[in-house]
Structure 1
Amino acid sequence: MLRVITIRRTSSGYHSHRSGEQNKDVGGTNEVIVNSGSKKKKKQTDDEEEEEDEPVYIESSPCSRWQKRRETVAQRDIPGIDASYLAMDTEEGVEVVWNEVLFSEKKISDIQHNKISEVFDKLIELNHMNIVKFHGYWQDRTKTDDRPRVVFITEYMSSGSLKQFLRKTKKTKQNLSKNSWRRWCIQLLSALNYLHSCEEPIIHGNLTCDTIFIQNTGLLKIGSIAPDVLHHHVKSNSDSTAKNLHFRAPEIDTELTHITTAVDIYSLGMVTLE
């Protein structure tokens, strides 16, 4: 809508007349047109942009604390996990990762169900500055085909994996200093020592540059502990990728049913060489 302000000439100069009110002197023009409609249009456009920027939540946890979004997390390639999505922690107000593991079987036994719960209960209790935090988990069925699944919530590492960081430094032809390499090794050894010192030692079994994450402060965190455990207790559709086989200790791919914490030390050695 256009609002017209008429300028009339008086003995003291030019004055604008709007709704019977007199304003300050103006000069040089006989008529001023104020387009108030453009402001409304701009405001409407801003509102539409804000609506587009708002995240879309497609699923909530049973406790309604975590809300799953459409955005997938493609910062790692982890055996055992079928899909990872960004989610919002409504209690803490931070972004987290919503991980899903699907069963290929339509029904699981009570023994298997209890074993999974036992494993994740231990993972939630882990508290170390160099280990990605587990916040919660639950077991339910998918809405599409009624398949059993495990959903677990983990800390979101927005800075990416160690492999991504090393790729960036390689492109910029920057050499990693010995001090940085030493600090990283100390952090990783501290995390593994914490896992292996538990009452029942926890074996990661999938330690690679893809499952180690780095923050902008230089802090390293080991993630993806659960998928290896799930391979022993959950029959997932996801297959292990062959690109990281050189990180795995030889005994993992043999017929040996019992492996020790030594497999993580082997993988750590390969990571340090990388």
Structure 2
Amino acid sequence: MALHVGSALTDLKPKSDREKEEESEDDSEVLEESPCGRWHKRKEQVNQGNMPGIESTYLAMDTEEGVEVVWNELQFSDKKIFKAHEDKIKNMFQNLMVVDHPNVVKFHKYWLDVKETSARVVFITEYVSSGSLRQFLKKTKKNRKTMNSRAWKRWCTQILSALSYLHCCEPPIIHGNLTNDTIFIQHNGLIKIGSVWHRVFAHELPVPDDLRTPLKVQREEHRTLHFFPPEYGYLEDGTAVDIYSFGMCALEMAVLEIQSNGEKVSEENIIRAVFSLEDPNMKEFIEQCISVAPEKRPSAHDLLFHRVLFEVHSLKLLAAHCFLNTPYIVQDTLLEEKTKRIDHQGVFASVPRKGHTLISWRYSQVSTMELDKFLEDVRNGIYPLMNFTASRPHMLPRGLSQSQEDLPAAKTPTPEPMEVETRKVVQMNCSLECKEDKARWHLTLYLKLEDKMHRHLSCDLLPNESCDTLASELVQYGFISQEDGPRMALFLEEAFHKQGVSLH
């Protein structure tokens, strides 16, 4: 008996650092590569949000950008069914790729992998390493009874900004699965909404349930049923479904937790939670969102201007975005240095009044630390400029496009042709340094692409090179798109002229 207990204790002994390191190395083993070689699938599986439609999600590495991503697999057991609806599947994924918002988990790429009897769609999405809203609220509840109102407003603004963007697409994109499990909070306070494609997969793919194993609609868990409105499942989904779900998320963020009767949250507990709110504006805001009648729920765009949220003037936000989009604001330190150079006695705004003294505001009246924090929040995407623009549709492509990587093999042993870059460059910066022999120049390029990706490129300039040849090589090797070639050549020419660089 003693020996048996001793054996059990031995089995429960904590793992050594070496054993943990070996397990970590085992998880990082590359199982598969994308046809282009850029994406490397690892052994470690991840669970990023409540996505019943996707069973296989793995951690992967983007070898071009050096960041971790999520490798998702959508399996079709019947090839004939897949082939019959292949065009619609391609169109659906192509539309998802153009969804671009700082508060929505990014959909990077997809490709088809068709076998003799089965098929699968592999798609790459942004990896959010931070926890979900549910996890964050659970940790916060241990130390607090209510959420900080300022944090609550910032979170609501970001979620609504994402919903406003999705709902203004043409056709509108309904999330349909917005809960505290599909909202993520990063360390800098940036909100990311995941599972945007969940409803598209579960409702729009025309494949019978008995043949699409990963897309079988699972019964919602009891703990999340209260996020769905009363009309859910009875009426056709509309944008009001997401507004109701958002209202429940906003309520849970405010009270940290809605008490449940076992696993299910009752209507009485929801009413009790709303009644416990002390701020009348917050209470009215949430009550509008969770109205029983769908037609009485405001749009996401209108909610952004509710008095409980509208605390940053649009002119202030526009000025911050203009400041941060200037070419010399590239690195974190430059942002801090620029704000320190401001003349504190300088006037940044004034209001002339006929027959009265001019009203002026000086920089000394504004806290530098608060300004730095606000600029940093804007820079991290917490206050998107699109919140304050007129509501207008974002057109999604209707035509069918060829799959990005429609290749039969999941991994190719031979080198693939150079990948063509299609993303546009939205910001260009460069620096030139003279080499020690003073006979050559070293060029460093900082590029920001339209999907918020950054590229840092550098090379030594040869005497016989020109701006046109440099731009052509960047296009040839897939660093910039064909359309950006002439712009890059002109940008380099202006930069060389300012530095007095001559390559001839």
AA of the residue aligned to 2:138: R
Q: 1:269 aligns with which of 240, 244, 247?
A: 247
Deviation at 1:110, TM superposition (A): 4.1
Q: 1:137 — aligned with what?
A: 110
1:100 aligns with 2:70: no
1:116 aligns with 2:96: no
Q: 2:221 aligns with which of 242, 251, 269?
A: 242
1:59 aligns with 2:32: yes
What is the 5 A alignment of 1:1-274? Answer: 53=25, 55-141=28-114, 146-173=117-144, 175-232=146-203, 233=205, 235-237=212-214, 238=216, 239-243=218-222, 244-254=224-234, 256=235, 258-274=236-252
Q: Secondary structure at the match of 1:85?
A: strand
1 CA distance for matches of 2:199 and 2:191? 20
Output the TM-score relative to the length of structure 1: 0.74
2 CA distance for matches of 1:166 and 1:141? 43
1 CA distance for matches of 2:160 and 2:221? 25
Count of residues paired in the alignment: 223
2 CA distance for matches of 1:67 and 1:127? 23
Query: Which runs of 4 or more aligned residues in structure 1 lie more than 3 Å from their structure 2 counterparts after TM superposition?
Result: 49-54, 172-175, 234-238
Deviation at 1:218, TM superposition (A): 0.6
8 A contact 1:84–1:98 mirrored in 2: yes
Q: Secondary structure at the match of 2:32?
A: strand
AA of the residue aligned to 1:211: T
Cα offsets for 1:120-175 (capped at 9, x unmatched): 11111111111111101122247xx9532222111010012111111111233463
Output the TM-score relative to the length of structure 2: 0.41
More strand by share: 1
Cα offsets for 1:185-225 (capped at 9, x unmatched): 11111000000111211111111111111100111011111
Instruction: Give me the identity figure in percent.
Output: 56
Cα offsets for 1:9-46 (capped at 9, x unmatched): xxxxxxxxxxxxxxxxxxxxxxxxxxxxxxxxxxxxx9
Q: Secondary structure at the match of 1:267?
A: helix
Which deviates more, 199-208 or 103-112? Answer: 103-112
Deviation at 1:108, TM superposition (A): 2.0
Q: 1:245 to 1:51 in 2, by over 3 A?
A: closer
8 A contact 1:78–1:240 mirrored in 2: no
Cα offsets for 1:76-119 (capped at 9, x unmatched): 33121112110001111100011122235443254522112111
Q: Secondary structure at the match of 2:37?
A: coil
8 A contact 2:49–2:195 mirrored in 1: no
2 CA distance for matches of 1:205 and 1:154? 19
Unaligned runs of 5+ in 1: 1-45
8 A contact 1:195–1:203 mirrored in 2: yes
AA of the residue aligned to 1:248: F
The alignment's C-alpha RMSD in Å is 2.4
Q: Secondary structure at the match of 2:87?
A: helix
1 CA distance for matches of 2:150 and 2:97? 32
8 A contact 2:77–2:117 mirrored in 1: no
Q: 1:156 to 1:251 in 2, by over 3 A?
A: same
Q: Secondary structure at the match of 1:266?
A: helix
2 CA distance for matches of 1:77 and 1:180? 24
1 CA distance for matches of 2:77 and 2:144? 45
8 A contact 2:50–2:195 mirrored in 1: no
Deviation at 1:260, TM superposition (A): 1.3
